[in-house]
Structure 1
């Protein structure tokens, strides 16, 4: 149930907004309409108005101004039977009671499939046959492993129960920094992770309060993560981070020092690419052909899903035999260890580069703006990592940070397909090699030309971090967020 709840909570609003964009063909309209044109501005003003209707933010007196396509889309959204609250926005209702939206989420998945859009899994299923890690606490220990009743288990100490299956003298169970073993481990049958808990920490799974949180309290929790509400905690050295896909972390401090952590670097350090190639090499014995015949499980059609189960079951014995090979568990264990080492090296490199610092991270999401009453799921793992290493990390709204020139505050850009420059790798640069850079933005403001009267080009990551530094410095100086980076465009018909 927890898996279903989190899936709906994190993805319902995102997939609903994406469906609206796909049905209205927003991507093609953006490519067709010229930048800064009146037609483009009118299109997006109309889009904001339509979304406010589709998400039930406003209830117009009449729907006669909707086109046939827009009316059809509205009827499809009504057919989802979304449970609405009279006085609360839709995003809040999803955040506090996600399971009530599960039927609507399944119907939305069916609409994606009906229109031929890229499918998503409304019901998350475990499909891997590689042994996964399972959490074992004291209750599971005595009821499933020791096979004794609760009354028998309560007659002895918890430590004595664990001594029957574990060597608690092993260094993995020793107390560290005031934390001690309280009876919880995870294992995949080969490796074991031991959980240590501080005596004053809350019990695992304990809720902080009863009932649903109010919209005001939920919004306050989200706002508390943003830099606007944590200016007093900022240190002198500010490091802004633009999270992305290729450059996973693009960092810059207020002295102009750059630090990059790329996807390629993480693949090398964790060995994930090497393990994937070795696993694929093992599959060439016939497993790859078997798996290529298995249809997609991402369907809400009962007959198609039945077909998926039957085809998957046909050669299940051969697949189980293949995935029970010790190599798969070994690779999984090495990937876990290597990831920990990679994260430790990342923190060390950041501290060596910037010293003591506070991190401001953009609240980027690949689905556009993060939904209300939610935080960016793309940055959640990084924020947890920084918190674990006692580094303050706050979020920053990235609105317009990639579309405004840091030197002249102009938003008039022309996109250049590619530009040649000295190679970014030092040893290639020493050889005089050049490289082509794609997707650069050139500022068209005549007052922003370089000394050679050439256009100034910006890398999008550099552009974002420079503007993020400008925003943070303006806040620290007491001037608030600059107007050029502010939101506040009302929805109009």
Structure 2
């Protein structure tokens, strides 16, 4: 039953997270957006047009019309008059997706659940994902026909490392101990036979009041090395006794109905932070609330290689208060490379055979395909490598340093018991989890030590999509981490913050510097193909405004030229401009306002008060919305 619930949850989460994104991606593929942009860009470049002019022309002729088509397409109607005949012919393949719904099916709206007719597919897939499984299947079939990257319609557990297994009192008694699950006082007697209930992890926690504290009621998840203990309050335990009724999900932008709680973390001296179901944007706060944060805000711009790059609002040129966290620092603190070397050494020294070649053989078959013949081939190949890979990833034991170093050999003589061996991969998975938590705690301590205990974190709302040759980035994970460590977190809209010069306040920042490609494979590949191995440096920008020129140090010599900016530092300085403008004038500077902000400002000026405020649009990835300006 537990595994079945996990499978259903995985299917629903997969649809809710990806359906809208993949529908737009297929529309871009059918409309040939990428090819048309490349062709038009080459034509305009041949005419010696400026880069800004080229981007503006592409935005007007291709990006904006395509965005309008996709916006109409999300309502599930290919026959809408806003879609011209040429685009309708290209999008005809999507009719199979829309025909998979019943004739009387209406989509929910993300803001008003009762208004079905104005809803769209993306909002409804997040509210009722189970009703979109057939349409998602049809959509992925179209992607397979056009050789696009295939998502997994039916997520599978492909890891060879044994996963955590849920064990409750009934499973423990019937499957492990062979006891009757109807005996009185069963939980304490049964679990006392397999675990130490006197361990602090199993004891009451959270509060001294037994009714408010969390207790262990006989439910754990374990993989044989690590264990996760589930605790509940007595009220939660009594609520969960009845039959569980599965309901539709609430819209994501609907506020949580839980009451706000002010908590102080046990054993810490940090100030309590009120619980909020959603993280507010700074332009949603009142001027008085913003004035109350004066002198406390740390403005951080998230990125890839520089995970965080920002400044404190009290920073000055004479006394800079900057903060920078790089990806290399995280790798070093989490000991990621050390774990990779251990795993690679275990692969090479395995007595089961060449593990790497076995994995390469399995990788030739895809488990995401919807073709039954190809999936049968994947099953056959997986069965062929089952013995080697399952044994390697589940039974490989740790190699202790006690047997290698002389000091540990002497220490072994007075040990009460010999050192225990654990399954290597499960132990490293637990160690990686512990190191991540330690790193998060270190980052929180370091920020409080450098900027004060009452520091408020203001984060850019950029969310990093998955990208080739890059480590997956934490988006919401960083926000949750800061809130878990009792920081007050605010969001800042990053619209145009990396393209406007903080000094002259003009839209004049551009990239210009070319450097050798830092990826050796791509560098030598370009040389072999007779192409330029140098690429544009993304992190260095210059201000092209002639009134903003000054002395610049180049190759050790000061000369008159364009002012240079680090891209992330320019964004952080613009964050500070937005914050000060909201405090002093109650509005975002016009150059950083989106279209809906400008319309709302006009309505406010005309009527005196905003009688019809428009909510901000749902945040999407930068490559999925035509109205989203590049950072």
TMscore range, shorter length: 0.7 to 0.9
Q: Paired residue for 2:592? A: 485
Alignment of 1:11-160 (within 5 A): 11-27=18-34, 32=41, 34-37=51-54, 38-42=56-60, 43-56=62-75, 62=81, 65-67=84-86, 70-81=87-98, 83=101, 84-85=106-107, 86-147=117-178, 152=182, 155-156=184-185, 158-160=187-189
2:14 pairs with one of 7, 10, 21: 7
| TM-score (normalised: structure 2) | 0.66
CA distance in 1, matches of 2:451, 2:334: 24
CA distance in 2, matches of 1:402, 1:448: 17
Asked if the contact 2:30/2:91 (under 8 Å) is kept, the reply is: no
Query: Cα deviations across residues 117-170 of structure 1 (Å, max 9, x unaligned)?
Result: 2222222211111122234344544454445565x05x3254344323221112
CA deviation after TM superposition for structure 1 residue 61, in Å: 5.7
Asked if 1:227 corresponds to 2:282, the answer is: yes
- RMSD in angstroms over aligned alpha carbons? 3.5
Instruction: Pick closer, same or farther for the CA change 1:88–1:416 going to 2, 3 Å.
Output: same
Q: 189-198 or 306-315: which moved more? A: 189-198
Asked if the contact 1:52/1:58 (under 8 Å) is kept, the reply is: no
Instruction: Pick closer, same or farther for the CA change 1:80–1:415 going to 2, 3 Å.
Output: same
1:469 pairs with one of 576, 592, 597: 576
CA deviation after TM superposition for structure 1 residue 397, in Å: 2.2
CA distance in 2, matches of 1:18, 1:52: 13
Q: Paired residue for 1:317? A: 387
Long gaps (5+) in structure 2: 1-7, 45-50, 108-116, 208-212, 258-275, 316-320, 397-422, 467-472, 517-534, 552-558, 600-625
Q: 211-220 or 379-388: which moved more? A: 211-220
Asked if the contact 1:241/1:250 (under 8 Å) is kept, the reply is: yes
- Of structures 1 and 2, the larger Rg is shown by 2
CA distance in 2, matches of 1:225, 1:414: 31
CA distance in 2, matches of 1:137, 1:392: 37
CA distance in 2, matches of 1:470, 1:143: 64
Instruction: Pick closer, same or farther for the CA change 1:346–1:136 going to 2, 3 Å.
Output: farther
2:202 pairs with one of 163, 173, 184: 173
Give the 3-state SS of the residue equivalent to 2:487 in structure 1.
coil
Q: Paired residue for 1:182? A: 216
Q: Paired residue for 2:371? A: 301
Q: Which has the higher contact order (CA 8 A, sep 6+)?
A: 1
Give the 3-state SS of the residue equivalent to 1:164 in structure 2.
coil
Q: Paired residue for 2:326? A: 262
2:457 pairs with one of 359, 374, 377: 359
Asked if 1:287 corresponds to 2:287, the answer is: no
Long gaps (5+) in structure 1: 369-376, 421-435
CA distance in 1, matches of 2:285, 2:174: 47
CA distance in 1, matches of 2:309, 2:83: 48
Instruction: Pick closer, same or farther for the CA change 1:211–1:107 going to 2, 3 Å.
Output: closer
Asked if the contact 2:511/2:541 (under 8 Å) is kept, the reply is: yes
| TM-score (normalised: structure 1) | 0.83
CA distance in 1, matches of 2:175, 2:293: 51
CA distance in 2, matches of 1:486, 1:224: 20
Give the 3-state SS of the residue equivalent to 1:217 in structure 2.
coil
Asked if the contact 1:415/1:442 (under 8 Å) is kept, the reply is: yes
Instruction: Pick closer, same or farther for the CA change 1:219–1:477 going to 2, 3 Å.
Output: farther
Q: 263-272 or 308-317: which moved more? A: 263-272
Query: Cα deviations across residues 253-275 of structure 1 (Å, max 9, x unaligned)?
Result: 21342222222222222222222
Instruction: Pick closer, same or farther for the CA change 1:341–1:62 going to 2, 3 Å.
Output: closer
Asked if the contact 1:88/1:215 (under 8 Å) is kept, the reply is: no
Query: Cα deviations across residues 331-350 of structure 1 (Å, max 9, x unaligned)?
Result: 11221221121111111111
Instruction: Pick closer, same or farther for the CA change 1:180–1:366 going to 2, 3 Å.
Output: closer
Q: 333-342 or 169-178: which moved more? A: 169-178
CA deviation after TM superposition for structure 1 residue 93, in Å: 0.8
Asked if the contact 1:54/1:74 (under 8 Å) is kept, the reply is: no
